[in-house]
Structure 1
């Protein structure tokens, strides 16, 4: 699908990944278009699904979330219904900010935020270990974020 994108489309997407609140006038200036053709291209990129949605990236420490953990979740029984129940419940837990079904020694990797280690421990005990299908969990605590989600490569 990305083969349909020309240099200007990629420039629009790259600019919006850096600043999703950019005005159409500023975006048009950055990519070398007038405002109307830029707005048309932007609408087309949205309609064709290249832009999933817009959102603000919140400052985790400012909101009191001092702990980021990556949790490897393993199932003993691989049952589609159990996995579906697990995924539905994970969707409903706000502190699980990402969840991926993966290959390898774990079935899922979750990214979890917590206020502090005590809060994280309580979450693990009261919520994580009681999710459907979970037979073991392993945590890797982030010591320092080296690179945050900086957008997709568009070259």
Structure 2
């Protein structure tokens, strides 16, 4: 789907406030409410808008420990990788997971209540996965840029 300037404005506004009313969004981009609704539906159906949600402050929820974890696998056995990925997908602590090139096989962004909870995550979860050989942790001191809208 090719995006025009109106689509870009719609997407920018939805990323800033997904709760904006259809009428307010239509007015802001200079369209009728029904035309805007059809345009938003087409963006959703094309997979450009994947979902709507709220941005939550982890610290306010008691999750003040954040780390980037570089995971090295023992070997690239397809069954072990599938098992690793399934476990990561259901972990409450793992917020993001990326398969990457370079020294580490996977990079995780992990949120926990504190250092003790993170240690439990490592010992009781991550290091029990058969595919995991080792992990290196970088503790996040403070976020610089996070949850930014996709810009065009």
Instruction: Give the TM-score range, shorter chain.
Output: over 0.9
The residue that corresponds to 1:125 in the other structure is 123
Range 8-17 or range 125-134, more displaced:
125-134
Q: CA deviation at 1:93?
A: 0.7
The residue that corresponds to 1:96 in the other structure is 94
CA distance in 1, matches of 2:73, 2:40: 43
Q: SS in structure 2 opposite 1:44?
A: helix
Q: What is the count of residue pairs matched by the alignment?
A: 152
**Residue of 32, 35, 38 corresponding to 2:36:** 38
Moved over 2 A (4+): none
CA distance in 1, matches of 2:130, 2:44: 36
Q: SS in structure 1 opposite 2:110?
A: strand
Q: CA deviation at 1:76?
A: 2.3
The residue that corresponds to 1:134 in the other structure is 132
Q: CA deviation at 1:132?
A: 2.7
Could you list the runs of 5+ residues in structure 1 that have no partner in the other structure?
Answer: none
CA distance in 1, matches of 2:140, 2:32: 44
RMSD (CA atoms): 1.0
The residue that corresponds to 1:79 in the other structure is 77
CA distance in 1, matches of 2:151, 2:128: 38
The TM-score with structure 2 as length reference comes to: 0.96
Q: SS in structure 2 opposite 1:71?
A: strand
The residue that corresponds to 2:141 in the other structure is 143
The one-character-per-residue Cα deviations of 1:23-66 (angstroms, maximum 9, x if unpaired) are: 00111111111211111101111111110011111111111000
Could you list the runs of 5+ residues in structure 2 that have no partner in the other structure?
Answer: none
Q: SS in structure 2 opposite 1:57?
A: coil
The TM-score with structure 1 as length reference comes to: 0.94
